[in-house]
Amino acid sequence: MRWDNLGDDPAGAAGTALFGTDAVVTRTVDTPEFRGITFHEVRARSILNRVPGASRMPFEWTVNPYRGCTHACVYCFARKTHGYLDLDTGLGFDSQIVVKTNAPELLRRQLASRRWQGAHIAMGTNVDCYQRAEGRYRLMPGIISALRDHANPFSVLTKGTLILRDLDLLVQAAAVTEVGISVSVGFTDRELWRTVEPGTPSPQRRLDVVRTLGEHGIGCGVLMAPVIPFLGDRPEQLRATVRAVAEAGATSVTPLVLHLRPGAREWFMAWLRRHHPGLVGRYERMYAEGAYAPTWYQRRITRQVHELADEFGIGPARRGASRAPAIPDDPAPEGATQLTLL
C-alpha cells in the first residue's frame, strides 16, 4: 500500500508534506499491549518539514515522527490531517497511528547534507512525539542523538512523561547546542483532565516533568493550553494552575485559549453535546466567527494569567528567554497552518 502526496494541506497550499512526496506502508500492526490501537508503519522519504510562512511560528522546520495520537484530546487541532490519509478524524485519529519507522536514520542523513544550514528544529508541533507509541518504537533517542551529534538546536513540546526516559540525551545535547523544552498543561482540574485528555498523563505528572528537567539544568516552560471557555477559565482555576506551574519551577507560562479548527471543531462539539449540553449555545456564539475565541476574551485570559504569573514569580515566555516552541499572541489567519500541540 502507498499513500501519495501526504501533507498538512491536500491542495498543496501549505507546502508541507509530512511524509515527503510519498511514503510506503511497510506493515500494519495490532498488539495486545496497545489494545484497540493500530500502528501503520511507514518508511518516509523526508522527515524535515518546512513551516509555511503564513503560520507566523517562531521556527521554520519541524520533525514529526508520528501521525495520529493516543492522547485522544477531544480538542486536538491536528485531527483534520488524518482525513488527508482517508482515516477517520475522530476515534481513528486516536487509534490509527502512523509511525515513520526510519525517522532517526533519515534525519541523520538530512542533517549531514551540505544544503542543511543548521536551523532550529521544533518537535511535538503536530502530534506528541512522546505519546504512548514512542514507548514501543523508541524513535526519539535516535532523533535526539542525531541532533546532538550535529549540534543542531531544537525544541520539544509535549504532554508526555516519557521524555524523562531521554533525560541523559537531552542533557548531552544541551551541552553542545540550544535545547528548549515546553510541557503543555492547560489546567490542573482532574475531572476536566479525565474527560478532555483521557490518554494523557495527569497534569501533576506533567508538572513533575518540569520539575525534574529543571533539577537537571534544563529550564522548562509551560504552555498553558488550552484554556477552555466556561470549563477551565474560572479565576480560581487559572490561579490554581499558575500556582502549580510556579511551584514546579517552570521558567515561563504562556496561555493559549482553545481554538476549534475544522476537524477538531466537529469532534469537540459532539463531545460537548454529550457532556455539557447547556454550553453548546454559548460555544456556537463564541466561535461563530471562526476557529478562534473573540480577541477580547483571549486578551482577558492572557492578562489574568500574566498577572498571576507575576504574583507567583514567573512570567510569560519572552523573546530570547525560552527556546521552546511559543505561540503568537494574535491568532493565525484562517488559511494558515497552525503548528501547535494542543
Residue 163 CB burial class (10 angstroms; 0-12, 13-18, ≥19): buried
| Mean per-residue pLDDT pooled into runs of 10, the chain (342 residues) | 42 36 65 86 92 76 96 95 87 95 97 96 95 97 98 98 98 98 98 97 98 96 97 98 98 96 95 98 97 97 97 68 43 31 28
User: What pLDDT does 260 receive?
Assistant: 96
Place of cell 482555576: 237
Q: Strands of 118-237 (E only): list them.
A: 121-123, 154-158, 179-184, 220-227
What are the strands of the beta sheet with 48-50, ordered from one edge? 48-50, 61-63, 121-123, 154-158, 179-184, 220-227, 253-257
Place of cell 528567554: 321
Count of other CB atoms within 10 angstroms of residue 229: 17
- The candidate with the shortest Cα–Cα distance to 226, out of 307, 321, 312, 297, is 297
C-alpha cell at 101: 519507522
Which DSSP string do the residues of 240-298 spell out, in sequence order? Answer: HHHHHHHHTT-S-EEEEE-B--TTHHHHHHHHHHHH-GGGHHHHHHHTTTSSB--HHHH
User: What pLDDT does 24 receive?
Assistant: 63
User: What pLDDT does 338 receive?
Assistant: 30
Count of other CB atoms within 10 angstroms of residue 225: 24
Between CA 308 and CA 143 the distance in angstroms is 37
Between CA 62 and CA 123 the distance in angstroms is 6
User: What pLDDT does 28 receive?
Assistant: 79
Give SS3 for 167: helix
The model's pTM is 0.86
Give SS3 for 79: helix
